[in-house]
């Protein structure tokens, strides 16, 4: 009965709520008393994690002198940045770090914003294997774009003195897309902090936006996606209806011979997920992918002792169709991962800026472990997955 008054954070759709499961919801101030009464009446245990959401939001979007710093050397990687700031940072990196960075656009968003990607790696005459990393598919997951920026900063700064980083950048190219869902991210800064979807318009309904992680051309709009435009997991009118998804799919198809790993950064749950999302089945190169995930989670744990669960998305998180990892895998990218970063629900999407550094530091270790694994041969599944 309170369906209309709550914004589901975890899980993201009511159909996934089951007996004895934990549910995270965000409620408007005026609806809290009604919900308290309803939960008591139903004998459902509950606790309040954040009593004043507005105050928490303002902590992360408020004016601070450090936000306004223009030059890269003073750029603050431990605060959240608006789309404009992230884009000018990308231009700056492209200008000042041209020996390792190349910036290009792969298309335009629904609202006409450019979709920028940074290529990181030492220039090379021969074709190098590549890793794709995107952040900010879901607008409200602000730790994502923060990580993509952190990754670029760390890769460039440690290239001189860290032999692992140097080897990775010499032998691989990294394609980094700091903000996949540019329109949604901008909207989450200006209007609705908890917006998830893109901002495309639907003719028949007043509701806007499509879940950019349900819009891929693989088992599109089956289990774990909604066909209703007002839902948070709306799959869209057809696969790749969203220009952002279409642009990334086109780019990855074009470079699929070289791209060996696809990594998508989400929040929150503290998990590392791999295919399949759409069914409970084992992927052909399970042993190699499972080993890569194990190594990544172990590396992540080594930083601060934060435990991540890892496994197939369908069994570890939930079944979803039309996801980017299933699409990447089906299109010949042997290692396809989705990270769900911190936390497990205490702050949820409002992860404090004080946790950007530790979250990115540990995630960096995991991503470097996955990338390092690509430079070694994994023999166990070679016969079953020819792309390795």
Whole-number average pLDDT of the chain: 92
Alpha-carbon span 202 to 115, nearest angstrom: 22
Structure confidence by residue, pLDDT tens digits, 199-227? 999 888 889 999 999 999 999 999 999 99
Does pLDDT of 38 surpass 90? Answer: no
H or E stretch covering 32: helix 32-41
Alpha-carbon span 264 to 148, nearest angstrom: 10
Which pLDDT score, from 0 to 100, does residue 4 have?
A: 56
Are 119 and 204 contained in the same domain?
A: yes
Q: Which of 2-16, 146-160, 273-287, 309-323 has the lowest mean pLDDT?
A: 2-16
Alpha-carbon span 271 to 280, nearest angstrom: 17
How many CA atoms, within 13 angstroms, populate the side-chain half-sphere of residue 163? 0
Are 41 and 112 contained in the same domain?
A: no
What is the chain's alpha carbon radius of gyration, rounded to the nearest angstrom?
A: 20
Cα-Cα end-to-end distance for the chain: 50
Q: Which of 57-61, 91-95, 138-142, 183-187 has the lowest mean pLDDT?
A: 57-61
Are 235 and 276 contained in the same domain?
A: yes
Alpha-carbon span 358 to 354, nearest angstrom: 8
Domain that holds residue 263: 72-381
Are 141 and 14 contained in the same domain?
A: no
Beta strand 335-341 with 24-27 is: unpaired
3-state secondary structure at position 188: helix
Residue 67 CA to chain centroid, in angstroms? 23
Tell whether 2 is covered by a domain. Answer: no
**What angle separates helix 286-304 from helix 356-374, to the nearest 10 degrees?**
150
Are 211 and 272 contained in the same domain?
A: yes
Confidence of residue 254 (pLDDT cuts 50, 70, 90): very high
Are 82 and 189 contained in the same domain?
A: yes
Question: What is this structure's pTM?
Answer: 0.92
Structure confidence by residue, pLDDT tens digits, 345-380? 999 999 999 999 999 999 999 999 999 999 999 976
Alpha-carbon distance values, 284 to 132, 378, 381 (Å): 21, 13, 7
Are 80 and 40 contained in the same domain?
A: no
Structure confidence by residue, pLDDT tens digits, 65-84? 445 544 446 899 999 999 99
Which pLDDT score, from 0 to 100, does residue 383 have?
A: 52
Does pLDDT of 3 surpass 60? Answer: no
Average pLDDT over residues 252-263: 97
- Phi/psi of residue 368, nearest 5 degrees: -65, -35
- Higher-pLDDT residue of 342, 64: 342
Are 309 and 234 contained in the same domain?
A: yes
Residue 39 CA to chain centroid, in angstroms? 32
Average pLDDT over residues 331-340: 98
The set of catalytic residues is 340
Structure confidence by residue, pLDDT tens digits, 50-61? 888 888 888 888
Tell whether 61 is covered by a domain. Answer: no
Confidence of residue 2 (pLDDT cuts 50, 70, 90): very low
Which pLDDT score, from 0 to 100, does residue 366 have?
A: 98
The pair of structure tokens assigned to 73 is 């050397």
- Phi/psi of residue 129, nearest 5 degrees: -65, 155
3-state secondary structure at position 262: strand
Does pLDDT of 1 surpass 90? Answer: no
Average pLDDT over residues 328-341: 98
């Amino acid at each position: 009965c309170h369906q209309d008054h709550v914004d589901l954070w975890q899980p993201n759709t009511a159909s996934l709520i089951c007996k004895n499961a934990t549910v995270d919801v965000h409620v408007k101030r005026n609806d809290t008393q009604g919900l308290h009464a309803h939960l008591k009446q139903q004998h459902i245990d509950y606790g309040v994690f954040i009593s004043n959401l507005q105050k928490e939001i303002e902590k992360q979007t408020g004016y601070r002198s450090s936000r306004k710093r223009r030059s890269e050397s003073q750029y603050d990687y431990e605060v959240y940045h608006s789309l404009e700031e992230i884009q000018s940072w990308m231009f700056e990196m492209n200008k000042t770090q041209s020996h390792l960075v190349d910036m290009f656009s792969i298309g335009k968003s629904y609202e006409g914003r450019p979709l920028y990607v940074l290529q990181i790696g030492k220039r090379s005459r021969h074709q190098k294997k590549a890793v794709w990393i995107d952040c900010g598919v879901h607008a409200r997951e602000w730790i994502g774009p923060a990580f993509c920026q952190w990754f670029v900063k760390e890769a460039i700064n440690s290239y001189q003195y860290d032999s692992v980083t140097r080897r990775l950048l010499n032998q691989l190219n990294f394609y980094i897309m700091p903000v996949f869902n540019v329109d949604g991210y901008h909207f989450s800064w200006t209007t609705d902090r908890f917006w998830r979807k893109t901002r495309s318009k639907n003719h028949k309904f007043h509701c806007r936006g499509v879940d950019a992680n349900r819009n891929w051309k693989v088992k599109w709009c089956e289990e774990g996606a909604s066909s209703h435009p007002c839902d948070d997991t709306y799959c869209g009118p057809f696969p790749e209806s969203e220009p952002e998804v279409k642009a990334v799919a086109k780019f990855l198809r074009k470079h699929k011979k070289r791209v060996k790993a696809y990594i998508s950064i989400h929040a929150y749950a503290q998990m590392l997920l791999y295919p399949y999302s759409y069914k409970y089945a084992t992927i052909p190169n399970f042993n190699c992918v499972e080993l890569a995930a194990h190594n990544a989670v172990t590396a992540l744990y080594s930083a601060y002792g934060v435990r991540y669960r890892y496994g197939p998305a369908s069994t570890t998180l939930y079944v979803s169709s039309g996801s980017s990892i299933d699409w990447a895998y089906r299109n010949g990218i042997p290692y396809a991962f989705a990270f769900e970063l911190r936390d497990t629900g205490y702050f949820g999407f409002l992860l404090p800026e004080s946790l950007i550094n530790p979250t990115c530091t540990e995630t960096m270790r995991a991503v470097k472990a996955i990338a390092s694994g690509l430079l070694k041969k994994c023999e166990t599944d070679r016969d079953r997955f020819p792309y390795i």
